[in-house]
Amino acid sequence: MALMGLYALGASLPALCAGWAGSIAPDALDRRLAGRAFFRQRAFNKLHRGASHWPGWWLLGWAASQAGLLGPLPDSMAGGFALGALSHTLLDLCTTRGIPLLPFGKKRASLRICATGSFAEYAILAMTIIVFWLAMGRNALLPQLQV
Ligand SMILES: [Zn+2]
């Protein structure tokens, strides 16, 4: 979903790649942190959708990328990464477990639209792709050939 948004915004290939990396970053961070524990899966389940899924980090990252401090290419990649991670947290907001309201608090926010891995989750993803495809024109998801 992040890639579709970045593509719609006319993002460069490096920004799209960074967006993909950002879209898996919150879960990858949780896996990395849990990897040090003796009972990794139990540690992951406890950590998952904690501080790494607080959208404020990723909004701050995106805002910092807009300041233009690093230069056009690094800023576009940092912005793509942050938007990818932000889209991940927004999709997790739709699940029953939700995301934290504050980075280290117990209170959570959830739209309770679907459970992770459920048919509804895949249906939402399919509808998002169809809406994007219709909004961008039917060739939006196909590679554009330049002659
Ligand atoms: Zn997640």
Q: Mind listing the pLDDT tens digit for each residue in 98-117?
A: 999 999 888 999 999 888 88
Look at residue 90 and tell me if it is in a domain.
Answer: yes
Look at residue 72 and tell me if it is in a domain.
Answer: yes
Ligand 1: centre distance to CA 12 (Å): 25
Look at residue 57 and tell me if it is in a domain.
Answer: yes
Ligand 1: centre distance to CA 88 (Å): 6
Q: Mind listing the pLDDT tens digit for each residue in 13-27?
A: 888 889 899 999 999
Ligand 1: centre distance to CA 104 (Å): 16
- Residue 53 φ then ψ, to 5°: -100, 10
Helix or strand or coil: residue 74?
helix
Ligand 1: centre distance to CA 85 (Å): 9
Domain encompassing residue 18: 2-115
- The domain total for the chain is 1
Residue type, 73: L
Q: What share of the chain is helix, strand, coil (3-state, %, to 5)?
A: 65, 5, 35
Ligand 1: centre distance to CA 146 (Å): 37
What's the pLDDT at 116?
Answer: 80
Look at residue 67 and tell me if it is in a domain.
Answer: yes
Look at residue 81 and tell me if it is in a domain.
Answer: yes
